[in-house]
Structure 1
Amino acid sequence: MMASRRSRWSSLLLAGLLEATAVHADGLADTRFRIQGFAAQTLISSTNNNFFGESRDAISTDFTEIGLQAFWLPVESLQLSGQILYREAGEGDEEGLRLDYAQADWRFYQSDTTQLGIKLGKVKVPYGLYNETRDVPFTRPSILLPQAIYLDSSRSVLIAAPGAIFHASAIGAQGTLDFTLGWAQPDFDSEAVEYVFLGRNRPGALKGSSAFSSSLRWETPTDTTLMLTYVDANADYEPGTPDTLGAGEIHFRNLLLSFQQRLDTVTLTAEYGQPRTDRSGFGPAFPDGGRDSITRYVQGEWRFHPEWEVVLRNEVNYRDKTDKTGRKLQAATGLPAHAMYSDDWVIGLRWDVTPNFMLRAEYHHVDGTSWVPGLDNPDIFATEQRWNMGLLQAAYRF
């Protein structure tokens, strides 16, 4: 019943977006204004654990993405842009329709080689190579981004937030250098995020207080991208009634290193981070403490035909670098050791049937459950260490 209801909503929203596109068809020819969108439906089946719905030994249709984007350049120095997004992704993301982002980008200084500007509104947060475009299926290297880095269960924390981002870019003989510096109010207020940072859904509310971000990106003349991203986010917990937790605070920070090399028909990508999470003030039921994690992946994409591409990736996540196997956690709490790590081998195939229509298939062989969605698997003792997952996706853009 739930799946069919979501499907009806998806169909109605897609029809509305297509109608809106037709209404603005005349505007599409204007380079100062354009409207575009996308729609994607993914089928997921897995063994031993659920992902984005009831996919264990079944087929889940609970992964739907539909977006409508608009860009307007009223004057040369100002760009207005935004996106309305409809997204369903299992039990962890049932909000449906939402404003994904809406920002004004004022480039207050421009020359032949330098540009300075500031973005205001609900701004896209620069984080690694894919965060700013992660909602658009056509811009992702695979159906799922590497969960070791771009964890979907906590995507709302870093995807976009009310705030301001200063940006600067310079072009020279050694390539292009881009720098950003921003402040925003992150969104921690979801049950999926509570599972990530508090272990399970709590009676109270986890509210984002502030987030600082900075990035430095260098695009070299040899088609190489090097990038450093730093984020520092805080959230406050407001206890509910009744509640075993006090008014605590979560502090998350990460320095992410990114590399990409493009070689004609082959693209090689790697990202590495060591996130740090600290908690304090929650009381004896959730003692003060901190944990350093390790997240990384290595990926290769091969466009072996103009319409076909294959991707191969290995991604690794250790939630505690001092307890990579999870044995310390298991000995202390009795929780499954495999909840502390994951090692995922991924192979995927993309077929661009037309410039606007894409089909994808993807297979995951996973050891560990560190990024398995908690809301889709509420009984942690029912999860299993080794599991496989297959995904099929159809995506259309207009």
Structure 2
Amino acid sequence: MDRIGLINDPVLTEERRNQIQGEATFLRAYHYFTLVKLWGGVPLVTAYSTSAVPADVNKPRATVDEVYEQIIKDLELAASLLPDTYGSDNNVNKARATAGAANALLAKVYAQKPNPDFTKVLEKIALVEGSTANYTLISYPNLFDGNNYNNAESIIEVQVLGGNEGNYGPQLLLPPSISGDTWRKFVMPSHNLINAFAEQNDVVRRNASILNENVQWVDEFWGNAVGSSVPFSYKWKVAGGFNSSNRQYLLRLGDIILLKAEALNELNQLELASIEVNRIRTRVNLPDLTASQKSSKEVLRTTILKERRLELFQEGHRWDDLVRNNAVISTMNTLVEIDLRSGNPVNYNMTQAKILLPIPQQELDRNPALVPNPL
């Protein structure tokens, strides 16, 4: 960022110079957005430094508002510098930051910050929808079958190639018949989640997202005996021995449409919000929202949150959604998960302090200017 303006190489066009600046600025904003959601205020480093003086490099934590202000500044700049596409090759357009990616992320930022601006959310989503990248919804199962990477719904996704550039996540999640191993896996769907799919008769998204299999270990939540049927996260389909080519969407249109519904609802435009939710439901063969599901702003807010849970399961949005809707504490503390070994429910004891992660001790040791999060 600091040096791109100093390069006088005639081969470096002004267009490419802007792209480099825009891509770098987008990445900084993306990572600060992750940081502020997980840890709260963090040191803001926005200029390159060669100083070894502790006072110059040991920066204190900025406030949450200051971090969000910088994220928005960076993304607004990125959106102004980046193209809608880099040409006709979606293997490039979905791999690199674009104006669409910057505006989509801006919409999520304006919704997530402590004082949300839902008018701005809609403004940025309108730019995404009007982009010449022509983002459109595709068949839900095709999103996750491994044969439609960099598709029309994808805004930006991780370009995992497999082999030495493989994704180890699928091996951690997929059942023995696919992974080839016999140890217990991670991110097992809960009874509450399975019931949520069943409540909506959501067969399409459930089948694309979850696979049941009998296992040769004891699972204290699904069957306290060897051979019990257990659900597995299934949006990744190929384990690949820790070198899978399965990819992860960072931003896709389905997420943004439901965010648009959320913003419309918060601005008291309930019917327009319902139309957006129904777009998502229609493609998975679900009926339009009933009158009772959209009877008030509060009810529709809960309905949208439920819809996002089913639409985006395993895509890394649920925690942010619960935090944004001030629902994370109540959701976790009312969740009933029975340990079959004892017959007792799990006590998650969720508190306000646990919403943010602790500042790592190593960082506190390195930088005396940092202060820890409350416990």
Report the TM-score, using the length of structure 2 for normalisation: 0.29
Higher relative contact order (CA 8 A, sep 6+): 2
The structure that is strand-richer by fraction is 1
The structure that is helix-richer by fraction is 2
Report the TM-score, using the length of structure 1 for normalisation: 0.28
